[in-house]
């Protein structure tokens, strides 16, 4: 049932008449469309014809050819969709999210999820479909000089994973790899959740290794194909200016328009990577879930809510950690390489793929995987200021002289409870900013970044502007606060890992923080109890913690830091 319903929705996405969505571009609207289809579509009618509908649209491109082949899409008359038509409001929504694209600084085909992230719908649904088909394995020919297949010729060697995870044998599979298993396709990386892995040493070398012989359909239609195509020579992201570009919605309550912050953004925006990773994660889950599978609307409601099957770690807030645990850099690089080989043999051939050697394809796969693994999976998810509703900066910000040599750790003290979801964390950010601007008469929220317990980092003054977090030292280091009072208790492990590992390692890689940076608690530089006894004791065990510093002399009450105030007010002490 789920597979048929998904294909119906995908077909409606592609065949709906032009118009403007009357529903807000929210993930809950997509889930609503799925739920409506699940109520209307009988399983007997949904299961056979619907599998052709995803790529029956008039649009074309390399990713469409890949979808056609890997997801077994064939042409289908749109009239066959009539019995399963959605309400006019949902029809308008499906038109808006039909295809992912970037044009004139605006991103299309994306929706706002409850966790505050923006998600591209197309790769999400493609991943769900690949998972429902059983995560098929495609056996590739080994001959790198073989001509692309002729139009109308069936490409060989498609197999579903057998119950034991092995590719079943088939007659005439000249280049089948008999030992490909699910473990090979989705292998956990030991360092996936502790920082950016060292991927260079383990990435493919075409001079030393043979080309890949198999392609995992799930990875191909979500991540591998688009990573490879985007990093081809001459593509916009060759110097990686736009990988993971963020953007701003026109409004958060009823979003309709999403504009990117980087005008150079490639198609591999943050929203696309989120959707592709979600499609990969949920497709993998569906491929391993026996019948009867949960309805797609229920699965997405859980994943973008409290967690799949009640697991709070299995939700969109932690997609990067989950995705890193499901694959590894070597496996992903091989899949990017293999998908490019497959695209060389699908008509029409992408012009930049024609006559490319295996060595060249391997280098593209290496570059793409390294950038994705380090700049996306190896970095924390940061909500930009517009996402939490920041007020404008008052005055003119002072630029930092990068890279900086210090990371100063704070707790907010007030708000005292940790924020566990986007709505609460965003409200806390706005509350702190109002206090800093209106009561303290500062130009902006004082912190460089604020870490929630919802899996996200919230941009304050950011990487490039001097903050107001550590009196006398604001221009020398970044001030990072964790929402909550950590006098007697510790933050969540995810929040600690963000401050200890992923945020600084990402900043070092980007040239924003020196590799030999020193990590200090606020109390080491200013007379205050911040960041709380429990958290400070934890900091003392971290690798970059530096104990040999001198506390600044006491100042007047109006200038110096004080002990934390009553919970009735927000703390100036942590921010001066």
Using the predicted structure, report yes or no on whether residue 522 has a pLDDT greater than 70: yes
**Which strand (E) or helix (H) includes residue 90?**
helix 88-96
The helix/strand/coil state of 216 is strand
Q: What is the pLDDT of residues 484-515, one digit of tens each?
A: 999 999 999 999 999 999 999 999 999 999 99
**Residue of 221, 200, 224 lying closest to 212 (CA atoms):** 224
Using the predicted structure, report yes or no on whether residue 523 has a pLDDT greater than 90: yes
What is the arithmetic mean of pLDDT over 204-219?
76
What is the arithmetic mean of pLDDT over 552-556?
39
Q: What is the pLDDT of residues 219-243, one digit of tens each?
A: 999 999 999 999 998 655 444 445 8
Q: What is the pLDDT of residues 329-362, one digit of tens each?
A: 999 999 999 999 999 888 777 888 888 999 999 9
Distance of CA 285 to the CA centre of its chain: 17
Residue 40: Cβ-neighbour burial (10 angstroms; 0-12, 13-18, 19+): middle
Least confident of 144-153, 337-346, 469-478: 144-153
Least confident of 36-45, 99-108, 563-572: 563-572
**What Cα–Cα distance (Å) separates residue 303 from each residue in 133, 285, 296, 309, 400?**
20, 11, 10, 9, 39
pLDDT score, position 5: 54
Using the predicted structure, report yes or no on whether residue 559 has a pLDDT greater than 50: no
> What is the C-alpha separation between 119 and 275, in angstroms, rounded?
5
Least confident of 156-170, 388-402, 454-468: 156-170
526, 471 in Cβ contact below 8 A? yes
Using the predicted structure, report yes or no on whether residue 74 has a pLDDT greater than 60: no
Using the predicted structure, report yes or no on whether residue 59 has a pLDDT greater than 70: no
Sketch out the chain's domains with CATH numbers.
Answer: 27-140+208-378 (no CATH), 383-540 (3.40.80.10)
What is the arithmetic mean of pLDDT over 50-65?
45
- Whole-number percent of the chain with pLDDT over 90: 57
**Residue of 239, 231, 314, 233 lying closest to 278 (CA atoms):** 314
Enter the pTM of the model.
Answer: 0.83
Using the predicted structure, report yes or no on whether residue 196 has a pLDDT greater than 80: no
């Amino acid at each position: 049932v789920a597979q048929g319903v998904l294909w119906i929705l995908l077909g409606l996405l592609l065949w709906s008449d032009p118009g403007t969505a009357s529903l807000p571009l929210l993930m809950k609207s997509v889930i609503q469309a799925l739920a409506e289809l699940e109520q209307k579509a009988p399983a007997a009618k949904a299961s056979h014809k619907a599998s052709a509908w995803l790529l029956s649209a008039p649009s074309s491109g390399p990713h469409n050819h890949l979808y056609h082949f890997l997801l077994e899409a064939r042409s289908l008359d749109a009239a066959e969709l009539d019995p399963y038509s959605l309400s006019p409001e949902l029809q308008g929504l499906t038109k808006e999210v039909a295809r992912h694209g970037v044009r004139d600084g605006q991103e299309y085909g994306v929706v706002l999820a409850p966790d505050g992230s923006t998600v591209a719908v197309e790769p999400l649904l493609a991943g769900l479909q690949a998972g429902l088909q059983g995560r098929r394995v495609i056996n590739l020919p080994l001959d790198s000089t073989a001509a692309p297949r002729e139009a109308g010729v069936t490409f060989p060697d498609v197999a579903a994973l057998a119950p034991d995870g092995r590719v079943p044998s088939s007659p005439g599979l000249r280049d089948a790899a008999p030992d490909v298993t699910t473990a090979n396709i989705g292998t956990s990386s030991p360092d996936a959740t502790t920082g950016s892995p060292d991927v260079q040493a383990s990435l493919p070398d075409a001079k030393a290794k043979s080309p890949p012989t198999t392609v995992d359909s799930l990875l191909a239609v979500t991540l591998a194909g688009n990573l490879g195509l985007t990093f081809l020579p001459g593509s916009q992201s060759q110097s990686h200016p736009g990988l993971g570009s963020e953007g701003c919605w026109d409004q958060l309550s009823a979003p309709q328009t999403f504009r990117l912050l980087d005008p150079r953004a490639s198609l591999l925006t943050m929203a696309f990577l989120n959707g592709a990773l979600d499609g990969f994660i949920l497709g993998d889950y569906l491929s391993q879930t026996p019948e009867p599978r949960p309805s797609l609307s229920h699965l997405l409601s859980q994943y973008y809510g409290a967690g799949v099957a009640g697991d709070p770690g299995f939700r969109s807030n932690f997609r990067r950690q989950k995705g890193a645990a499901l694959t590894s850099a070597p496996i992903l690089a091989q899949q990017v390489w293999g998908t490019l080989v497959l695209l060389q043999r699908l008509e029409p051939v992408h012009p930049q793929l024609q006559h490319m050697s295996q060595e060249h394809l391997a280098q593209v796969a290496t570059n793409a995987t390294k950038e994705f693994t380090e700049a996306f999976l190896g970095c924390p998810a940061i909500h930009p200021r517009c996402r939490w509703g920041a007020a404008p900066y008052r005055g003119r910000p002072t630029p930092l002289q990068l890279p900086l040599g210090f990371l100063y750790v704070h707790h907010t003290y007030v708000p005292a409870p940790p924020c566990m979801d986007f709505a609460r964390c965003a409200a806390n950010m706005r509350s702190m900013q109002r206090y800093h601007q209106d009561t303290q008469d500062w130009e902006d929220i004082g912190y460089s970044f604020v870490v929630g317990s919802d899996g996200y980092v919230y941009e304050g003054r950011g990487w490039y502007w001097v903050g107001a977090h550590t009196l006398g030292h604001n221009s020398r280091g970044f001030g990072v606060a964790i929402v909550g009072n950590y006098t007697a208790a510790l933050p969540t492990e995810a929040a600690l890992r963000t401050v200890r590992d992923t945020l600084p390692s990402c900043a070092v890689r980007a040239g924003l923080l020196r590799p030999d940076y020193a990590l200090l608690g606020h109390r080491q530089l200013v007379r205050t109890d911040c960041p709380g006894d429990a958290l400070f004791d934890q900091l003392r065990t971290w690798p970059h913690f530096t104990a040999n510093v001198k506390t600044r002399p006491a100042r007047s009450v109006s200038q110096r830091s004080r002990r934390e105030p009553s919970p009735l007010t927000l703390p100036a002490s942590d921010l001066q």
